[in-house]
Amino acid sequence: MASEKASISEQVQKFLRKSDWKSAIGEMERLFALDHDPMVRVRIGDARQKLGQKTEAVKEYIHAADLYADGGFVVKALAQYKLALRLDPTSRDAQGKIESLHSNKTVAESKLEPIEVGTQEPTRSVIPLFSDFTQEEFNDFTKRMIIHTIPAGKPIINEGDTGRSVFILTRGSVKVFSTIMGKKMELAALHASDFFGEIAFLTGKPRTATVETVEETDVLEVAEDDLNEMISKSPRIRDVLHNYHEQRVKSTLRKSKRYVITAQDA
């Protein structure tokens, strides 16, 4: 089966390079029949968009999200439902299924999402935040999210920026780095289900680090005004963000001290 999957994947890539979306979809359907990978449905949705088939693309993103949700991948499911809503803001199916994620076992039991082969466990998962919401708060919070797809090697936020949004990583990976003693120092690598950006929001100060994509990455953004409105209703949201902020500060201080000692010894 492995060799067959590899052969089909090569065909898919060949058709994608030629922008032959219809043929690529046919091969991806064959691939999905061998392995029910939700990402295949996502890629079929992307191809449907290229063909101008918006309704079919929405169905594909919802199908992929359903598969992720069934596997406990709440953040990945949320991202795909949001992609569907970006194409069709009136989709009651997608909105209703986002709301049902609050009762997903991963959120209800405040578990980390399952770890996919070849990926890393999140260091600062957003699941505890979701688990602390009531159903109404969860619905309100997720409705405010905006999804962005960012190419590899692009900054999401830059050190020194004045932005106050908070971001949740849903696909791909990013590196976090800051300038210390005039040199760039990597602070962390973040993966799906991690979130970042809360330091500037909590302190009101400029961004303390740059976050740059390692590969094509999807992030969900919650803007400052929306966060403030949510916190006015549910002050404990600030407490959760503050706890994570303290964890990140401690980690950054440890790494900074090691870097300074190393630089002085060099």
The C-alpha atoms of residue 24 and residue 17 are separated, in whole angstroms, by 10
pLDDT of res. 30? 96
The C-alpha atoms of residue 39 and residue 36 are separated, in whole angstroms, by 9
Residue 86's identity, in one-letter code, is R
Ranges in the chain, pLDDT < 50: 255-256, 258-266
pLDDT digit string, tens, across residues 134-150 = 898 899 889 999 999 99
| 221 and 206 Cβ atoms separated by less than 8 Å | no
pLDDT of res. 258? 47
- In this prediction the pTM is 0.84
pLDDT of res. 120? 67
| 125 and 91 Cβ atoms separated by less than 8 Å | no
The C-alpha atoms of residue 187 and residue 176 are separated, in whole angstroms, by 5
| 220 and 86 Cβ atoms separated by less than 8 Å | no
pLDDT of res. 118? 61
